[in-house]
Every structure is written in C-alpha cells, then in structure tokens.
Structure 1
Amino acid sequence: MVEDIALQQVADAVRQAAGRRRPLRLVGGGTKDFYGGALQGEPLDLKPLAGISAYEPSELVVTVRAGTPLAELEAALAEKSQCLPFEPPRFGPASTVGGMVAAGLAGPARAAVGGVRDYVLGATIVNGRGEVLCFGGQVMKNVAGYDVSRALAGSMGQLGVIAEVSLKVLPIAPGRLTLRFDMDQGNALRHLNEWAGQPLPLSASAWWDGALIVRLQGAEAAVAAASRRLGGEPIPPELADRFWDELRDQRDEFFRLAGQAIGEGARLWRLSVASTAPRIELAGDQLVEWGGGLRWLVSDAPPATVRAAAVEALGHATVWHGDKSCGAFHPLPAVQQRLQRALKAAFDPEGVFNPGRLDNLAAA
C-alpha cells in the first residue's frame, strides 16, 4: 500500500471536492486525453504518486505507483529480461502506469496473451469519499469474490484515483520472428482463423493494404518450426521490431494517413468484433489486428451505419479520433447501464471523478 504525503494530499483533495460537489479531472501524463468523452473538472495531478514500490523478478510481480512513467517501468523490467506482455500503447514518453490501467488498452499481443485486466493482481485507490482502499494482492490466489482491482482496467478513472497497482509480468520470449504474406483481407482473415486453431506461437498479426504481417514468439525451436510450416517472407529483426513498436503506439503509416483523412471530415473507428467475422463492408480504409478481432476503420460513413455493422459482427465501435458528437463509446444495453451506474454510485457517490469520459454511462 502506498503510504506517503503525496497519497494523503490526493485523498484530502478528493474529500474537499466531494464536500463541495466539485468535479475532478484525474491527470497523469495526458497522452490519452483524446480517448473517450469530454475532459471536464478541475485537474488533479497524479504524477507525484510515482516510483516502483516493490519488484520480485523471481515471483513475476511488480508493484508500482500510478504516476510512474510507463517507460520507466518497462526499462526496469527489461533489465531482468521481463515485460508487460500485453504491450500497452504509450502514445508518448509521458504515459503513466495509472493511465495504462485506467484506459485498459493493449497492443498487438492482446489476442495471444490477454489484456490489461488479466495482469492486474491488486490495487490501492482513493474512492469518491477520499478513503484509501486496497483490493486484491500480489498473487492470483488472493482474488476472491468481485475483483475490483481488475474492474479498474478500462474504467477511465470513473471509480477512483488509482494510487498503486500490482501487476503480473512475464519473461521476454527467447525466440522471435516476423513474417510477411501478400494477400487480400478476406484471405488474411481466413488464414488467421485457421492458424488460431493450430499449436503455433503466433503472438501478433496485422493486415493492411494487401500485406499480412504475423509475429511468432516463444521458444526458439517452436518459432523455427512454425516458420517452416507457414512460409512467408521473413522480415529483418530491426525492421520488424520498429514495425510492431510503431503499430503499438499508432505511429505507422496507416495512422498517419488516418490523421489526414480526419482533417477532411472522416472518423477513425476502433471496432472490436468477433475474430471470425468476415470483412466489414464499409467505405474507407481498414487495418486488421488481433487475429481479426480488432478492425480499424477510417471512414466518413454515418455513425449509425458503422455501429450497426459492428453489432452485426458481434462487437461494438468506438470513435477513436474525429467528430465525437455521436458519442465516443458504443451505447450500452440497459442492464449493463444499471450495473455500471450502481458500481459508480458505490465508489463515487458525488460523481467527482472524470465526468463525461465514459460518455455511454448515462446519468441515473
């Protein structure tokens, strides 16, 4: 648990805000300010809650304060040949651990290893009453009942100030190889779904503009055997690492071109769908990740049309960049709305934290 002046100051600020019913905007590195709904409330700087509290490489567990730069944590893990396997997007050097958990975003390896919530073992938070609460622990067996610490992943700061988290980490795989295949999107989706049912060390995939790129990762013998089985054109390691890094942080060519299209009135959509869904027939450019489960779409199609297509593909659609007057997040079903409102009321009864960030969480 974090016990210091910085945490006490945060708790005091929250109590004062709750007493006055004054909204707060939780601020870390600011690299994800674009994500979700409107930024509202008086800024509460969380960067003073920084530092790695405990790290046990032999136990594959690290406990870190939320204001710690993500780059600092990843560097410390790399020194012990370990990593955050879900490859959280950084979007810049100021990205923090707290923002990583609150946004709940994962990178290219998501389909193979799971998301942020799968690696959160415990957390210390400040709730909307200014109370310091601890959930979970530092081992998986400590989790029982409703797992609040994992519910923080993707909560966008709605439930409380994340002060500290304990995370499961993994060793960096010794074998790594990236392959390229020339094919259209339909064939890429078919191959990806076939490969998903086979014992292959497939850790990431991306299709765009007629090229399917896949990454094999694991034991060196397994990677070599999979490479012989799949074929394809090997990409030099340095070039491959740069590709996956730029895709992770959305600095590659697809996203650069998307930025230009947004300036001309299009939207960049993030569609989370069934990996087995066929090509989504909407006008605009598409990039496919996560074995088919994540579809990026640059389009000027009406929002209702895009969201209907996502539902047909057993998923949902988020406006990532562009005009969000239609709502950034996909509308929630009534039952899920009630559950989320109840959880919000329990942790933040005065509605202090980040109003408007989850714009699909309607008021009661």
Structure 2
Amino acid sequence: MGVNVTDPALQRIVDRVQSAQAANAQLCIRGGGTKDFYGEVPQGEWLDTTVLEGISSYEPTELVITARCGTLLADVEAALAENGQCLPFEPPRFAPGGTLGGMVAAGLAGPARAAVGSVRDFVLGATLLNGRSEVLSFGGQVMKNVAGYDVSRLLVGSLGTLGVILEVSLKVLPVAPATATLRFRMSEATALARLNEWAGQPLPINASAWWSGTLMLRLRGAHAAVEAAVRSLGGERISPALADPFWSGLRDQRDDFFLHAHEAVEAGQALWRLSVPPTTPPLGLPGEQMVEWGGGQRWLLSDAPVGQVRNAMIQAGGHAILFRAQDKSTGVFAPLRSPLDRIHRELKKAFDPAGLFNPGRMYPGL
C-alpha cells in the first residue's frame, strides 16, 4: 500500500507541514471535527485532512479496503454495505462528516467491541506523514505482511500525536446472516453475573448494554445458532424495528442515556468512560451508569470528585477516561506511570521530534 506522493492533495498537506516546521508553529490535525470533544482541548493551527479523500482500493473477495484519511466514514460503510460487508467493530459516528483517519486516530469502537475486537485488530497497514515531512508506510493489505513491531496499529488511538495518518488498509467482514435482540429486567449485579456466566458458554453474543434495570442482549451469527440461543436464554425478544435504532443510537451515543448525559455535562457533570475487568462487581460510585461490553466498559455520569473515580479504578484494576466534561483541567486520561510514560515520550520524539502535531492532545508534552 502507499499513497501517490505526487498527488496534489498530499503535496498540499506536506507543504503545510513544512511551512509549520519553518515557522516553528504547531498543527492541529483535523478531518470532520466530529471528535473535537475527545481528549484534551485541541491546540495549534488547523491542518485540514479532508482534501485527501477517496477509496484507493477495495477487494470484496479479499475482505480488505484501503482508503485515504479524509474519506468519509459514511462513504466507506456504504461501499461495504453494497457488498454485504461491514466494519464489525462499529466505530461511533458522533455526527455527519467523520473521516476514516479520525476513526483510526481516536480508536473508538461501538457495542460489538467485546465480541469482535477493537479498531486496532482490523488495521492491516497505514501510511503516515511524520514530523520530518517524511511519508512512511507500515504493514500491508494482508495479515501475513505484519511482522515485527506493527507501527500501523500503534497509530490507533494516538489522537494524531505521532503524525498525519494519510491512508489506511482495513480488514472487513461479511454482515452476519442473523441477528436477534433480547431484553431482560434485572439489577446491575444480576446482569453482571449473567453476562459473565454466558461469556463462558458457546453463545453468539455480539453486544450487551445494561442501564436502569434493563439488560439488552444482541445475538449475531448463523440462523441456527441465533435461534438456539434465543430459546436457551429466554427474555423478551425485541422486534428489529425497535432493536436496530437502539443499537445504532448506542453506537453513535444518541440513545436516551447519552442524550441525558449530554444535557447533564452542559450543567456541570462529567461523563466518564471506565474500563475494568468484566468480572468487576458494581462499582458503587455516585451517579448513573451504563454497562457495556459484557461488563468491561462502564459509562458513569456523575459529579463525583476526580480523585474518587480514579482511585476506584485503581482498586478495580482498570482506568478512567474523562470522556465529556466542561472542565478538563484535572486531565482527561489516567496519568501514565513509568516506564509507560517514558515509552510514550520516546515514541513522540521519534515520530514528531519538533512537537508539531496535536500538542498536548493526550498528555502534556505529547
């Protein structure tokens, strides 16, 4: 893989980076801007990546698609849908205009993450413009090309701090032939116990969500497997007309919980994204919670002190991200300990020695 280095759109981006180097300026890499809220407050002059767009290649029979960074996520998914394929990790679409580069840089996945894997698991290769204005390619378009340290996957979740992601190759999957959604009324503790019990069984569980006394469970796979699981698990089967909008709203954070959360954040509360071992019991933190990923991801809407939330995560063996908040002065991501802090800073120095890209978007100095 690799973008055409003579492409005028790419040359405009390279020229912009070289101008910033000469002026000792800093750049904020930005595609559709749909994730500006995520991470620390963006800083630097805008570097527009939407000029570099288009699907470079797509081989449905090979289950691989390659596209440039400014390509709309909606366009990628539309092309896949025409061939009965999808991005199975369900990247959130917080608003229209999200791009493929932004999807990879943020590294966020939707309801199916625990069942199918993360964004990182589906990245086969990437082309990057580093802080020295060098165009570098990593990985390839097939899994066997990945050997040694896989830099392309390192870019996932880096929030643009290592360079401009120019092009990405992704593994895709066929849409499952059958889907069913079940609803159960139960407490958080009971839901967690059931989810962990079911995780040890050969069930086609694709997604789960618990909130306010209700557990929603999505099954996906072969028709026979899904129907057998429906009979085995019980619960109330929800029609696709109601279930599909629920899962889509959960993926894009437009369902009732997140709509309420957005209003509460405007009023001064914080929305935390908590990552814990799935077997962790109810956390007992003040506020409202939604539980996803079989118990592994928990959303907390609360006005609890930052220290209380972070200490609870340390005790649970997890970590907390301040996902949405009016005040981010306490830091968005959990503080890094040595040697992770040193590794992050050395990587930043190797890819972006002058600190051009997305300064401080993750941590001070990164």
Q: CA deviation at 1:18?
A: 1.9
For structure 1, the 5+ residue unaligned runs are: none
**Which residue number corresponds to residue 342 of structure 1?**
346
1:71 equivalenced with 2:74 (yes/no): yes
Contact 2:323 2:332 in 1 (8 A): yes
1:21 has 2:17 as partner:
no
Aligned partner letter, 1:61? V
Q: TM-score, normalised by structure 1?
A: 0.98
Distance 1:266 1:38 in 2: 18
8 Å Cα contact 2:196/2:294 also seen in 1: yes
Is 1:168–2:167 an aligned residue pair? no
What is the rounded CA distance, in whole Å, between the counterparts of 1:198 and 1:261 in structure 2? 38
Matched, 1:196 2:186: no
Distance 2:38 2:15 in 1: 28
1:260 has 2:263 as partner: yes
Alignment of 1:309 onto 2:342: no
CA displacement at 1:264 relative to structure 2:
2.6
2:262 and 2:170 map into 1 onto residues whose CA distance is 33
- Aligned position for 1:35: 38
Partner of 1:113: 116
In the alignment, which residue of structure 2 is the partner of 1:181? 184
Shift of 1:220: 0.5
C-alpha deviation, 1:63, in angstroms: 0.3
Q: CA deviation at 1:65?
A: 0.6
Distance in 1 between the 2:294 and 2:338 partners?
Answer: 30
Identity of aligned residues (%): 64
TM-score (norm 2): 0.98
Distance of 1:65 and 1:264 partners within structure 2:
38
Distance 2:180 2:76 in 1: 25
Aligned to 2:229: 226
Whole-Å Cα distance in 1 between the matches of residues 145 and 51 of structure 2?
A: 28
Deviation at 1:139, TM superposition (A): 0.4
The answer (yes or no) to whether the contact 2:208–2:217 under 8 Å persists in 1 is: yes
Deviations 1:164-187 (A, max 9, x none): 000000000001000000000000
AA in 1 matched with 2:365: A
Could you tell me how far apart the structure 2 residues matched to 1:76 and 1:165 are? 15
Deviations 1:168-215 (A, max 9, x none): 000000010000000000000000001111100000000000000000
Distance across 2 between alignment mates of 1:173 and 1:41: 43
Task: Report if aligned partners of 2:359, 2:365 keep a CA contact under 8 Å in 1.
Answer: no
Equivalent-residue separation in structure 1 for 2:154 and 2:27 (angstroms): 20
Equivalent-residue separation in structure 1 for 2:197 and 2:107 (angstroms) = 28
Instruction: Tell me the CA shift for residue 310 of structure 1.
Output: 1.2
**Structure 1 residue 20, shift from structure 2 partner:** 2.4
The Cα of 1:232 is off from its aligned counterpart by 0.6
Aligned-partner residue type, residue 363 of structure 1: G
Letter in 1 for 2:3: V
Q: Deviations over 1:152-174 (max 9, x none)?
A: 10000011100100000000000
Aligned residues: 362
Q: 1:241 aligns with which of 241, 244, 249?
A: 244
